[in-house]
Structure 1
Amino acid sequence: MIRNIFSAAVVAFSLVSCIAYAFAAEDKVFKVDKEFYPYYPSLMKWDKTSAPFTPPETCGECHEQQYKEWKGSVHQLAFQDPVYQGELNKAVKAVGHEIARQCEGCHSPVGVVTGEVKKPGISGLSSIALNGVSCDVCHSISGVTHTQTPAKVPENGSFILKPGVDGKDGPVLIKRGPLQPSQECGGGFHSCEQSTLHKQADLCASCHQVYHYDTHFPLEATYNEWKQGPYAQKDIHCQDCHMVDSATFRRSADDFKKPARGEYRHYFNGANYLLYYLASAAAQKAGDKQLADTLTEKYKMAVDRLQAAADMEIAPVYRNGSLAELKIRVKNVRAGHNLPTSLTNVRQMWLEVTARDDKGEVLFTSGTVKSDGALPEDARVFNSDGMGNDFHFAIDPWVVTAFSRHETIPPRGYKDVFYGLAPKKGQKVSIEAKLRYRQADQAVAEALLSAVPKDIDLKAIYGLERVPTLPIVDMVVRKAELTVAGK
């Protein structure tokens, strides 16, 4: 009797376990509806009609100022960027083009949905595919699917493209923007619709949140950083800082004051000065002085934004009446997202500090770039370390599924760094501290630029005989003189 009851219980338990396992196997954390997202792992959708996409040159015929501002922007260069193309080429070789389409969906959205972009490289493409995030990409967006993505947040291009509709007499182009359109809007070429989405960070979030193609880990979480910080609470959106000149950006960031209607521009300027640096060299090589000058101005604007984003304080720490430590507080004073943001496991923002005694002798130095372009292992770096499924260090975005270290500075936040000191009594200590930034480690940049597709000839296009030393921007430089004897 007891044996029968026990046997029945075992059978019942086994059945429950099997059923639970079956449900667990089906109930994945990140479910993917590939019918809803036909370009997966890009999460774009195309509300397809007979309405075609419009090349940027056509837009420029009526919107000359906006076109000139966009020309040479990181949006225009998003697909041509040789660093991106090197990364894309490596990704295709490592995991296949199907997965790499995730990147292409944001770097050339129209090229993906029309099927033009089939592989890394820039040859044989139409203007609208080659020119990345062109006018008609942003102004054809009719909505987003942020809450329907596998992670239930904005990720990997979760927007809807709808350049127009089918009319009785053929396709009708529809362009969307933040303003109430006038009756003359579009000049008979297209109709106009007001879109509140175009005033909001949600529009930008679609591509400025990059998640791993399978595990949906946030490799880039710029929108999340903004949404969880004070700028979202104060109604300052991406457009209010990145679609304005430098002075207006500072006012938006300092006073939480939205720009006036006439202050918005199509610069889309951020911290990617390396792209402007390379593109300017290409324009000079091609003999296009006007474009080269434009790119040089955009380069200066990017550097200015970096230098405006942070601040730094130097303070002594005394113990038992003697100087024991140096404290450096690095502050994010104007970026509406973390510093740094984007691919934080690739970006490098670090402290270079030198302490000297009153005779000028070096007591210690930290963070000085080595002769091969690498940072020393003890440099205090504000970025992230990626790791793969095996919990070992990884840097390639198709491998990174988590961060083992995440040291970025939130909006209006700070990080304190301490350095031990052991000066002799009676001395004064002079400190020079620099907060420095570059797009990537020198070796990483060399690996990516060395991996560009064959149709991107770095010498012919950019005049590069070899990968150049990456430019470094000093975001903040501070000096202080401390006494050894304290209170």
Structure 2
Amino acid sequence: MKKKTKSKEFLVMGMLAMPMLLPGMAGAIDKVDKELYPFAPSLVNWEKSKAEFTPPETCAECHPQQFEEWTGSMHALAFKDPVYQGELNKAVKAVGHDIARQCEGCHSPVGVVTGQVKGPGLTGLNSIALNGVSCDICHSVKSHTGWQTPYHQPENGSFVMSPGKETADGVVLTKYGPYKPGEDCGEGFHECVEQPLHKTTELCANCHQVHHYESHTPLESTYREWKDGPYSVKNIACQDCHMVDYDTFVRSADEFKKPERGEFRHYFNGANFLLYYLLEQAAKKGGDEALAANAHNKFEMAVNRLKAAAEVEVLPIYRDNKLAELKVRVHNKRAGHNLPTSLTNIRQIWLEMTVKDQSGKVIMTTGTVGKDGELPAEARLFNSDGMGEAFHFQVDPWEVISFSRHETIPPKGYKDVYYGISAPQASGPLSVEVKLRYRQAEQKIAHALLAAVPSDIDLAATYGLTSMPDLPVVDMVEKTVSVPPTK
């Protein structure tokens, strides 16, 4: 009884302390400077001049390879993504456009600073606003204001865009890049300026470290996961894995070897295979075979990266010489951030395991997806659970202000999962089949987001979706091992 009383005391003390993390509590964090950040809660900045942003089609005239690599990438689709548009539509209806602008600042930076983007939907936007993170977004980034943000690090779009300047001779366009420019760089169309920021993770961190607009709870911590891990120590940046082909990515992760200049590509490839799949369907429906092939190639790249990211060990545990438990160790082998990353309360990585005896009889099974796409309650998930103000379960990023569970796998780290098992009648080795599975969201969440797309996006006409599809699942690891029932 005494131990129970003490536990209750600690529980009460913990609950009394937790409100200190809620929005509106004084002294928790620095507030956003609205004069410095006129588009807050997006922290994007624009050095406004008569210099206009350059549409990606113009860049393609001199940089056809880079344009083709960027086309169909996550950056190119950042604003047009129907899943994002559904989420944005829900956010505007729930908390208003002024708050939802935080998302828009990274999904269409030019659309925000020029005032074109006024909420969800794709109508009435020029090419630069519609194409999300196009060439001239990154190559107009002059600096970032990380030290002036509430967390004193790059976050929530804290980059400064400066596409050019006004001079006595007229407007001069300026493009920033990672290398010292040659004499002919820009060929009279624009100036070229070396910007060391473009070689660093801090460039990417501006949009891949996301905090709640009010409580400043970290919602996406990809940058911090990298910074606190071995890749940052070895100076392997985001670009060294996500702006290269598959083989170079594997080398960067395995050897901590930075790519050579000629090895970089504008793929920006990660785990978002669903969007590549949707783009391929849209391209086929529209008769654009080249774009369909481009999207399919990027889909395969994403799947292959997922399959290379992790590995699994099955380690039997015996007691009194009898099999008592199976320890499954999941390694984050090649991701420079946690597995999963980004919106971890929406992403799903889980273990599916089936154990059979020599006759093929199933002794135990866990983690099998049901007909409705739901996972069983006992499935071992690697992700997180978000909470709202009243400590209730919440998935919408504008509502999540804390986490009740955060179970992700750090770079070059691992997590162990234990399964109790008993097979006293087994006369021979057991077959243990293990899968590490990934999907981008729970089935019902994906359906809700696609159902919420704004009215100017016709899923049937564009993607051929006449009903909500089952969300694809990628098996990151598939492994079968033989385990003796006795030692």
Specify the SS of the correspondent of 1:328.
Answer: strand
The superposition leaves residues 418-442 of structure 1 with CA deviations (integer Å, 9 ceiling, x where unpaired) of 1000112434321000000011011
Q: Do residues 463 (structure 1) and 479 (structure 2) align?
A: no
Structure 1 equivalent of residue 283 of structure 2: 283
2:337 & 2:148 partners in 1: Cα distance? Answer: 24
Q: How does 1:433-444 map to 2 (within 5 A)?
A: 433-444=434-445
Specify the SS of the correspondent of 1:232.
Answer: helix
2:178 & 2:42 partners in 1: Cα distance? Answer: 26
Residues 30 and 215, structure 1, Cα contact 8 Å, conserved in 2: no
1:99 & 1:283 partners in 2: Cα distance? Answer: 33
* CA displacement at 1:27 relative to structure 2: 4.6
Q: Decide which moves more: 350-359 or 79-88.
A: 350-359
Q: Do residues 138 (structure 1) and 142 (structure 2) align?
A: no
TM-score normalised to structure 1 length: 0.94
* CA displacement at 1:169 relative to structure 2: 2.4
Structure 1 equivalent of residue 186 of structure 2: 186
Residues 29 and 216, structure 2, Cα contact 8 Å, conserved in 1: no
1:139 & 1:219 partners in 2: Cα distance? Answer: 27
The superposition leaves residues 235-277 of structure 1 with CA deviations (integer Å, 9 ceiling, x where unpaired) of 1000000000000000000000111110000000000000101
TM-score normalised to structure 2 length: 0.94
The superposition leaves residues 344-384 of structure 1 with CA deviations (integer Å, 9 ceiling, x where unpaired) of 00000000000111221111110000000011111000000
Structure 2 equivalent of residue 91 of structure 1: 91
Specify the SS of the correspondent of 2:207.
Answer: coil
Specify the SS of the correspondent of 2:76.
Answer: coil
1:29 & 1:203 partners in 2: Cα distance? Answer: 23
Structure 1 equivalent of residue 380 of structure 2: 380
* CA displacement at 1:26 relative to structure 2: 6.8
Task: State the AA in 2 paired with 1:478.
Answer: K
Task: State the AA in 1 paired with 2:391.
Answer: F
Q: Do residues 340 (structure 1) and 326 (structure 2) align?
A: no
1:468 & 1:142 partners in 2: Cα distance? Answer: 42
Structure 2 equivalent of residue 13 of structure 1: none
Residues 177 and 194, structure 1, Cα contact 8 Å, conserved in 2: yes
The superposition leaves residues 265-296 of structure 1 with CA deviations (integer Å, 9 ceiling, x where unpaired) of 00000000001011111111110000000000
Specify the SS of the correspondent of 1:381.
Answer: strand
Q: Do residues 79 (structure 1) and 79 (structure 2) align?
A: yes
Structure 1 equivalent of residue 19 of structure 2: none
1:179 & 1:45 partners in 2: Cα distance? Answer: 24
* CA displacement at 1:25 relative to structure 2: 8.1
Task: State the AA in 2 paired with 1:447.
Answer: A
1:259 & 1:417 partners in 2: Cα distance? Answer: 35
1:261 & 1:153 partners in 2: Cα distance? Answer: 27
Task: State the AA in 2 paired with 1:280.
Answer: E
Gaps of 5+ in 1: 1-23
2:466 & 2:314 partners in 1: Cα distance? Answer: 42
2:53 & 2:85 partners in 1: Cα distance? Answer: 24
Structure 2 equivalent of residue 323 of structure 1: 323
Task: State the AA in 2 paired with 1:223.
Answer: Y
Structure 1 equivalent of residue 484 of structure 2: 483
Moved over 6 A (4+): none
Residues 69 and 265, structure 1, Cα contact 8 Å, conserved in 2: yes
* CA displacement at 1:309 relative to structure 2: 0.4
Q: Do residues 34 (structure 1) and 47 (structure 2) align?
A: no
Gaps of 5+ in 2: 1-23
The superposition leaves residues 132-161 of structure 1 with CA deviations (integer Å, 9 ceiling, x where unpaired) of 000000000000111111222221101001
Task: State the AA in 1 paired with 2:439.
Answer: R
1:92 & 1:132 partners in 2: Cα distance? Answer: 19
1:463 & 1:122 partners in 2: Cα distance? Answer: 18
Identity among equivalent pairs (%): 63
* CA displacement at 1:171 relative to structure 2: 1.3
* CA displacement at 1:29 relative to structure 2: 2.1
Structure 2 equivalent of residue 159 of structure 1: 159
Task: State the AA in 1 paired with 2:304.
Answer: D
1:471 & 1:167 partners in 2: Cα distance? Answer: 53
Structure 1 equivalent of residue 114 of structure 2: 114
1:29 & 1:108 partners in 2: Cα distance? Answer: 27
2:429 & 2:200 partners in 1: Cα distance? Answer: 52
1:357 to 1:346, Cα distance in 2 relative to 1, 3 A = same
